[in-house]
Amino acid sequence: MGVSDRNVALLGIDLGTSSAKVLACDQSGVLLAAAVHPYPLRVPRPGFVELDPGEVMLGADAALRDVLAALRERRIAVAALGLSGAMHGIVPVDARGAPLGPCLTWLDRRSADVAAAWQRDGTAARLYAATGAPIHPMLPSCKLRWLAQNDPALVARAAKFVSLKELLAFRLTGEWAIDWGMASGTGLFGAYERGWHAAALDLAGVSAERLSQPAAPSTRLRLRDAVARDLALVPNVPLVLASSDGALANLGVGAVGVDDFALTLGTSGALRVVVDEPVLDRAGRTFCYAYDDRCYIVGGATSSAGAVLARFEEWLLGDTAPADRPARAVALAAAAPLGARGLTLAPFLSGERAPYWRVDLHGTLAGLDLAHERGDLLRAAFESIVFAVRSVYDVLLERLPAPRRLRLSGGLVRPPFVRQLIADVFDCETVFTEHADASAFGAALMAGVAVGLVADAADIATSPSALALEARNVAERIHVEQYAAAFDRYRRVVAATLQL
């Protein structure tokens, strides 16, 4: 790295489900500035979970301006911007790019009947084999079919259907482009040809002209002159499309090969691994999406994580201030016996995604006894969300070698109790590296690679200079054996729940 490169920054912008996050780092991965601006999810009726595109754009603008202001104070120039975004959302827009309605988020389940019909008649299996996306109401393919059936007037008015990330890229550059990673999450994108899949488009009722142009994640777009002036950026600063939030979270924690799986526990959970070639599951239990210009990312996302814990905290910790509940829940769960004294939770409070892909599932609490206390209930909740991701892991190991380590991210893995729980349940070393945001960090690093300022992004992501914290946990043999018995009990409860 030349001395002339030291006073430049790489920006990562992540449009999440609940907030816009922007960070700046140097070419060594050292954090220079970060900002977060939240926006509210809206649930106008059961199953409808939306975001206001205008509020999201305002949040992104505010976070971006905060970070740019901090860089200007230090006289640090911006070399490139990378974009990350939550997958599976869709916004109808007119010919000028103005939203015609809300963003239907990945949490939106209004198209459940469409997904169920495709699963019954074999369409789901055919689409999965072509796209690598398990059929579920979260997919834009299902949502578009639902819109065609239930709001044809809106469909007729819309010029395009795009994600919030595409909308932001259009406002910044004037181009409608979607990277292969985000496109993979639509259920409309061919896993092998890396282009829109004709049969999927027909089933969804949309033409390729009404979608953005697919492009490699390394694609660089030019900022609009007016945008560059308004943000006080030089006109030739490129905007790099980068990839999906999941793919970039892998990069942000340095999990870019089969030896390292990335495990995220936040509002939801996920397990992902980067591979050289597409890896599809015969039963369609895991996804296979594009990662970057060459590789793929395989894994599964669960709906049963932080949202489940939040409900248990509300039910069991009413005597505790809301801000103090997460820490108290951890303390009570950690003090309870391993295995929660025989109490087992199937944590499907909002259905479940991988590996079942069923929105009709409900939670089951088995083994409840008068002797149980709230610490046992909380322990069962923590164990169940880790067991849920372990179920995805077991499916992946049918086709992939076991990893040497799990690289952790997400708010739920900050407590040492949770990190040790994961290490013991998976019988695998875990590494937790603290960043302002793994997806935004990954977007900044991928932008750095695209413009030639970063040679090895994964190496930088795990370098000591880039880390605010690194914590390692190894499995404890006696706990591994005890959790194996508890996990076997969990699988039996889930099997019974699937039949209800």
- Same structural domain, 153 and 260: no
Say if 457 falls within a structural domain. no
Say if 414 falls within a structural domain. yes
pLDDT given at position 210? 98
Q: Which of 291, 306, 287 is nearest to 357 (CA)?
A: 287
Backbone angles phi, psi at 62, to 5 degrees: -65, -45
**Three-state secondary-structure class, residue 33:** strand
**For residue 164, how far is the Cα from the chain centroid?**
14
Please state, in angstroms and rounded to a whole number, the distance separating the CA atoms of residues 81 and 168.
Answer: 12
Please state, in angstroms and rounded to a whole number, the distance separating the CA atoms of residues 99 and 378.
Answer: 42
- Across residues 317-334, what is the average pLDDT? 97
Q: pTM for this structure?
A: 0.94
Please state, in angstroms and rounded to a whole number, the distance separating the CA atoms of residues 282 and 276.
Answer: 19
Q: Does the pLDDT of residue 288 top 70, yes or no?
A: yes
Say if 161 falls within a structural domain. yes
Helix (H) or strand (E) holding 272: strand 269-275
Q: Does the pLDDT of residue 410 top 90, yes or no?
A: no
Tell me what percent of the residues of the chain surpass a pLDDT of 70.
Answer: 98
- Same structural domain, 333 and 359: yes
- Same structural domain, 36 and 96: yes
- Same structural domain, 194 and 337: no
Q: 298, 396 in Cβ contact below 8 A?
A: yes
- Same structural domain, 161 and 210: yes
Please state, in angstroms and rounded to a whole number, the distance separating the CA atoms of residues 164 and 168.
Answer: 6
Q: HSE-up of 11 (CA within 13 Å, CB side)?
A: 27
Say if 191 falls within a structural domain. yes
- Across residues 287-307, what is the average pLDDT? 96
**Three-state secondary-structure class, residue 98:** coil
Q: Does the pLDDT of residue 1 top 60, yes or no?
A: no
Q: What is the CATH number of the domain that holds 428?
A: 3.30.420.40
- Same structural domain, 383 and 236: no
- Same structural domain, 198 and 320: no
pLDDT tens by residue, 346-391 = 999 999 999 999 999 999 999 999 999 999 999 999 999 999 999 9
Helix (H) or strand (E) holding 459: helix 457-461
pLDDT given at position 6? 58
Select from 242, 268, 293 the last residue of a domain. 242
Select from 222, 242, 262 the last residue of a domain. 242
- Same structural domain, 223 and 144: yes
- Same structural domain, 153 and 267: no
> Residue 104's beta-bridge partner residues?
50, 90
Please state, in angstroms and rounded to a whole number, the distance separating the CA atoms of residues 263 and 406.
Answer: 6
- Same structural domain, 283 and 217: no
Say if 445 falls within a structural domain. no
The domain of 151 spans 3-242
Say if 213 falls within a structural domain. yes
- Indicate the pLDDT class of residue 92, thresholds 50, 70 and 90: very high
Q: 138, 206 in Cβ contact below 8 A?
A: no
Please state, in angstroms and rounded to a whole number, the distance separating the CA atoms of residues 461 and 100.
Answer: 39
Q: 261, 272 in Cβ contact below 8 A?
A: yes
Give the pairing type, strands 177-179 and 213-215: parallel
pLDDT given at position 464? 75
Q: Which of the 8 DSSP states describes residue 242?
A: -
pLDDT given at position 2? 33
Say if 15 falls within a structural domain. yes
Q: 277, 298 in Cβ contact below 8 A?
A: no
Q: 214, 183 in Cβ contact below 8 A?
A: yes
- Same structural domain, 20 and 86: yes
CB neighbour list of residue 272: distance below 8 Å, 6 or more residues apart:
246, 247, 249, 250, 255, 261, 262, 264, 297, 298, 299
pLDDT given at position 156? 97
Sign of CA dihedral 415, 421, 424, 427: negative
Please state, in angstroms and rounded to a whole number, the distance separating the CA atoms of residues 109 and 274.
Answer: 28
Select from 192, 207, 242 the last residue of a domain. 242
Q: Does the pLDDT of residue 17 top 50, yes or no?
A: yes
Q: Which of the 8 DSSP states describes residue 411?
A: G
Q: 254, 273 in Cβ contact below 8 A?
A: no
pLDDT tens by residue, 474-484 = 999 999 999 99
Q: Which of 132, 127, 216 is nearest to 178 (CA)?
A: 216
Please state, in angstroms and rounded to a whole number, the distance separating the CA atoms of residues 118 and 145.
Answer: 11
How many domains are there within the chain?
2
**Three-state secondary-structure class, residue 27:** coil
- Same structural domain, 297 and 377: yes
Tell me what percent of the residues of the chain surpass a pLDDT of 90.
Answer: 92
- Indicate the pLDDT class of residue 4, thresholds 50, 70 and 90: very low
Please state, in angstroms and rounded to a whole number, the distance separating the CA atoms of residues 125 and 115.
Answer: 11
Backbone angles phi, psi at 91, to 5 degrees: -130, 130
Please state, in angstroms and rounded to a whole number, the distance separating the CA atoms of residues 11 and 20.
Answer: 13
Q: Does the pLDDT of residue 466 top 80, yes or no?
A: no
- Across residues 402-418, what is the average pLDDT? 95
Q: 359, 349 in Cβ contact below 8 A?
A: no
pLDDT given at position 234? 87
pLDDT given at position 435? 74
pLDDT given at position 468? 67
Q: 46, 12 in Cβ contact below 8 A?
A: no
CB neighbour list of residue 434: distance below 8 Å, 6 or more residues apart:
467, 468, 469, 470
Q: Which of 326, 333, 380 is nearest to 490 (CA)?
A: 380
Q: Give the angle 170-174-176 at the CA atoms, nearest 5°.
A: 55
Say if 174 falls within a structural domain. yes
Share the mean pLDDT of the chain: 95
